Amino acid sequence: AQLGIDAIWLSPVCRSPQDDNGYDISDYRDIDPLFGNLNDMEELIAEGKKRNIRIILDLVLNHSSDEHPWFIEAKKSKENPYHDYYVWRDGVEGEYPNDMRAAFGGPAWEWVPELGQYYFHQFSVKQPDLNWDNPKLRQEIYDMILWWMDKGVGGFRLDVIDQIAKEPDRKITNNGPKLHDYIRELSANTFQKGDLITVGEAWGANTENAKLYSAPDGSEFSMVFQFEHVENGSGDYGKWTTEKYDFKEFKRIMIKWQEELQGKAWNSLFLGNHDQPRSVSRFGNDNPAYRETSAKMLATCLHMMQGTPYVYQGEELGMTNVYFDKLEDYRDIESINFFTELTESGLMTPEYIMKCLMLRSRDNARTPMQWDDSAQAGFTDGAPWIKVNPNYKEINAAQQLADPNSIFYYYQKLIRLRKEKDIIVYGGFEPLYRDNEQIFAYIRRLEQEKLLTVCNFSDKNAEMEIPEEFKGAECLITNLDRTVFEGKTVLKPYEAFVLYKK
């Protein structure tokens, strides 16, 4: 509430064996005892309402846990009414229906000897894919969503939603031909009956299909998470690389999404989440000399764009990657599986993949929230499920709340500015210095108003000229101590500022 946010997106909290941190749900209508119970959830929703904060649930609809009663039934026989809730192919042991691979490594097919069939799983073996071609399954899902809406949740984040219309025989995972029909049916039967924020997670989103996903007529979702800007820098083995991201490419992608969605769809703005490394470590600089400045710069760049900004927990404190250097410290199934797969196949040495994990593992973002400098960063007085980042003594919420210049208060100010100035929400977007290799700058315009955002993404000084039309403009926010905002100037490393003129 103090930060000024309007909603909290919770990672999955439904009952789950936690094979993939709750993205494997065994009961969609209950809370996992790890986190509490349904009463706690109702209380959270009610307390949120008092503060105008919506609770957004993470809906995992592409797959369930293999411990979900539907799957337990489905496995009993081909005649079982739940059998067709999942995706099966007849076959013989050892001869997979095709060579599709699962996102967490290994084949996408798992043999069930009792049935003489394989089931399809795009993620782990404990996450069997649901069969959206079955109308009974779809109806069960809608009923469950309506049940949560009835409890007063303020929205949903739809996990890997672009993968629900898979067609494994044609090796189609994302963007299957029936995808938008399914989403429209889902939305009409559920979301459109309430006042909700919905955001679809779509690894296969592009600026064309985004116009469907977040069509202004509300027929699908409020917006989608696209991943082009965070996929940039992937190598031959996907994200498992030590290459740094390419700034110019990153900027090109961000600008493309701003320009192409204007007036046609709505952007979601993020630099980090539970699947990505910490944004300050990746796009900024987590060296103590630059951590604070670069975290504020990144926040400036993102918050002044058109779209809905998402702040991943701890980002508002400038939390950094944890850089675990021992495999035993990792908990994430993806990191552990790929370590094994890439080393056993001889494609990478253990030393090299450890370096990749340190930069790219999802666990970098999953260490406990750093509340204060007491044991376990004040997260628990027990033993946390994953180690706390050792830098919690310097980086924690208590310290930042006591420092008026902290990253926390900077985010608070950015969020307040978005609420005060319509131009930040509605203004048109115009990039400046497209080809500059250090600076990301853009202008927003709304009738007579204009806003200039300037960010130096590099650890070097950068030269630029502030456009004449901003002469005499008001500085809304800056992360360093600049007082002159005219003419030719030199930006310091990671410097950022925003000018406003009417």
Residues of the shown chain interacting with ligand GLC in the complex, contacts defined by CB under 6 A: 20, 23, 60, 123, 159-160, 201, 274-275
Q: Is 394 marked active-site?
A: no
Q: Say if CB 325 and CB 364 are below 8 A apart.
A: no
What is the smallest separation between the CB atom of 499 and ligand GLC, expressed in angstroms? Answer: 37
SS3 368: coil
What is the smallest separation between the CB atom of 278 and ligand GLC, expressed in angstroms? Answer: 15
* Smaller CB separation from ligand GLC, 19 or 292: 19
CA 457 – CA 491 distance, rounded (Å): 10
Q: Is 24 marked active-site?
A: no
- 197-201 and 155-158 strand pairing: parallel
* Smaller CB separation from ligand GLC, 153 or 202: 202
Q: Which of 20, 32, 162, 201 is catalytic?
A: 201
What is the smallest separation between the CB atom of 64 and ligand GLC, expressed in angstroms? Answer: 10
| Total residues belonging to the chain | 502
Q: Say if CB 266 and CB 229 are below 8 A apart.
A: no
What is the smallest separation between the CB atom of 275 and ligand GLC, expressed in angstroms? Answer: 5
* Smaller CB separation from ligand GLC, 230 or 417: 230
Burial of 60 (0-12, 13-18, 19+ CB in 10 A): buried
* Smaller CB separation from ligand GLC, 203 or 440: 203
What is the smallest separation between the CB atom of 20 and ligand GLC, expressed in angstroms? Answer: 5
Residue 499, number of CB atoms within 10 A of its CB: 23
Q: Which of 32, 66, 129, 159 is catalytic?
A: 159
Residue least distant from ligand GLC (Cβ): 23
Kindly write down the DSSP assignment for every residue of 404-457, as one continuous string.
TTSHHHHHHHHHHHHHH-HHHHH-EEEEESTT-SSEEEEEEEETTEEEEEEEE-
* Smaller CB separation from ligand GLC, 201 or 316: 201
CA distances from 224 to 47, 120, 269, 346 (A): 27, 25, 10, 37
List strand residue ranges (DSSP E) for 61-208, in order: 88-90, 109-112, 117-120, 155-158, 197-201
What are the residue numbers of the active site? 159, 201
